[in-house]
Structure 1
Amino acid sequence: MSVPATINFNDPSVTVKVTLKQNKDLSSAVDDVLKVQGVSWIVRNALKLAPITLKLQFFTDTEGLVRLDIEQLLPAGAKSEEPRILDNEERARVSSVFGPVVARSEFTTADEAAKISPFLAQGWDADAKLIFAYAKGDLSQPKSYEWESFQTFGFTDIEVDEGKFERKYVVRLYFTSKSLKEPLTKRLVYDFVELGV
């Protein structure tokens, strides 16, 4: 289902709460990424079978910080929380799926994202307000894996059938690790489910 045009990241003073579901047909397979990140075989195979549901909240908190908080509901009742403060400050945390990570997030444009990788800039309108997220395994902590993730998030029109376009929530991923021969690029596409979380 198409995401309503009223849902966007344009105005941080307007709270957005939306539930989305991964469109497996339009999304890249990410097993190779998850394997490098140390995600277990059981979880990786469950993700191959069932789509992820996202509960997304975009808002300004009581301290004036702009946030994008994402709860990922995984198969078999598992879930992962990704709290993001859009101030480009690095913060360390322990993810229930990825283990110890260091991450930062901020607003960006397609032109800025293209400086990291042209892939991150593909498919966005020139004036689209995007969110950029960087994360890496926190090698200062035990049970951590070496990897770096660069992502752009936003809403854009995707061709869902020949000549038919729908507005979707899209994540573009540029992923690197010393264990890979070359970087991996992935596109994840999510359908609108409902307003609220």
Structure 2
Amino acid sequence: MAVPPEITIANLAGQFIPDKALSDDAEGFLSLQGVPWLLRKAIGLANPKLTIAQSTNDKGVAVVDLSVVGIGGRTVTEQRVLDWEAVPSNNPLYGNTIIRSRLYTSTFEKSPDQSDEDYAYLNAKIARDGSPSSWIEDEDGQHLHCVITNDEAGWTIDQVWGFEEINGKRYYTRRSVLVKGDAVERGRIVYNYIS
């Protein structure tokens, strides 16, 4: 189901499930992250429910709380503190990570180690296959940018959250670029809005 226009990145809250038909296959991502084959197959069959809530912490910084109910009804929670400070996290699937998150408008500055194609992909200028695409700008014109690093496993994910029009409907999407050594994977998750 399409996301109502009143839901923006600045007030993103609700329940979502991935639309597998519209999302990119995550096999390459999970493999590059070191997720075992059997678990990758189980994830491919699962239909996780994502719940997003927003609040403000005691420092006055916006916080996004994520709760994912996945395989076997197990719930995994994560948090994005939107101040671009490094926050340690532990995820049962991805291990120990450092996450930096922020809101931005327009485009973010290209990092020296990003290829032009990866930068264009994260800014929704191109799709995974290189064809043109674009964000739907909401009234706030904001996007959420996360950089997730796992030093032990040797990978980094650059991720941008926004809204895209697909088949005439407005969807919440996440575009990600995963880098591990010389290997790069790009992928987009398209979410159906539940409530």
TM bin (shorter chain)? 0.7 to 0.9
The 3 A distance-change label for structure 1 pair 59 and 156 is: farther
Aligned residue in 2 for 1:158? 166
Which digits, 9 at most, give the CA deviation of each residue in 1:151-187, with x for residues without a partner?
001223222xxxxx1111100001111162xx21101
Is 1:131–2:144 an aligned residue pair? yes
- Cα drift, residue 59 of structure 1: 2.3
Q: TM-score with structure 2 length normalisation?
A: 0.83
Q: TM-score with structure 1 length normalisation?
A: 0.82
Aligned residue in 2 for 1:55? 51
Aligned residue in 2 for 1:178? 181
Q: Which runs of 5+ in 2 are unaligned?
A: 125-133
SS of the residue corresponding to residue 164 of structure 2 reads strand
Q: Which runs of 5+ in 1 are unaligned?
A: 140-144, 160-164
Aligned residue in 2 for 1:162? none
The 3 A distance-change label for structure 1 pair 113 and 24 is: farther
- 4+ residue runs over 6 A deviation: none
Letter in 1 for 2:5: A
Letter in 1 for 2:25: A
Task: Give RMSD over aligned pairs.
Answer: 1.9
Letter in 1 for 2:194: V
**Would you say how many aligned residue pairs link Structure 1 and Structure 2?**
178
Aligned residue in 2 for 1:92? 88
Give the Cα separation in 1 of the matches to 2:91 and 2:176.
Answer: 18
Aligned residue in 1 for 2:27? 31
Is 1:77–2:90 an aligned residue pair? no
Give the Cα separation in 1 of the matches to 2:2 and 2:110.
Answer: 26
Letter in 2 for 1:135: I
1:113 and 1:132 in contact (8 A); partners too:
no
Is 1:147–2:155 an aligned residue pair? yes
